[in-house]
Amino acid sequence: MLRLFVALDLPEDHRRRLYALRDPSWKARWATPDQFHLTLRFLGPVEEDLLPELTRTLAEIEAPAFELAPRGLMVLPSLTRPRVLAAAVDPVPELHALQAEIERRVVDLGFTPEDRPFRPHITLARLKQVPTAAVRSFLQRHRDFALTPFPVRAFHLYESHLHPDGARYEILHRFPLQP
């Protein structure tokens, strides 16, 4: 079984800037620069036999390239139960259209439909025991957080390798968007 997800990659400079937000004093696991991505669809464990068909299906998607600008920080699932600290992005119709198309295609292949609404985010940290007050003050301190838009010219199929000290994400396939 392969643990798979479909996601967008980020440029080096944006990774560095996201990593710079890190507060090492928190009881949290901060993502390292090589772990940053924006998930479009978590697929979970997939039989290796399915990989060619999945790849073929994703390669059929015709969607335009677009620009994406990280802006704002958010906490998931909620500020009263802070588990994940993440960066949000400016809403762009192309991002949501791409996510919807991927969802449609993978459901056609037999994956269970995603029942949660798409909340695009780049995970910065998984919080263990960070008091809500500390999270609130972090969000306040970074309330103007924004990065310059970056071009999204492709989406990717990732394999997640789980390790006790954090996941390693490997890009298995690149699917170009239309220029």
User: Which residues make up the interface to ligand 2AM (CB under 6 A)?
Assistant: 5, 39, 42, 84, 123, 160
Neighbours of 29 (CB within 10 A): 15
Question: Considering 14, 37, 142, 156, which one is annotated as catalytic?
Answer: 37
User: Which residue, 5 or 155, is less far from ligand 2AM as judged by CB?
Assistant: 5
Tell me the closest approach of the beta carbon of residue 107 to ligand 2AM, in angstroms: 15
* Residue 45 or 179 with smaller CB distance to ligand 2AM: 45
The position carrying tokens 């439909």 is 113
The distance of closest approach from Cβ of residue 160 to ligand 2AM in the complex, given in angstroms and rounded to an integer, is: 5
SS3 string, 51-75, reads: HHHHHHHHHCCCCECEEECEEEEEE
> Which residue lies nearer to ligand 2AM by CB, 39 or 57?
39
Does residue 121 have an active-site annotation? yes
Least distance to ligand 2AM, CB of residue 178, Å: 25
- Looking at 121, 142, 156, 173, which residue is catalytic? 121
Element (H, E) at 105: helix 93-108
Query: In the annotation, is 173 catalytic?
Result: no
Q: Which is nearer to ligand 2AM, 42 or 145 (CB)?
A: 42
Q: Which helix (H) or strand (E) holds 140?
A: helix 132-141
Instruction: Output the six-digit token pair for 87.
Output: 């960066």
Tokens of 107: 């459901």
**Shortest distance, position 62 Cβ to ligand 2AM, whole Å:** 24
DSSP state letters, 13-29 = HHHHHHHTT--TTSSEE
- Tell me the catalytic residues: 37, 121
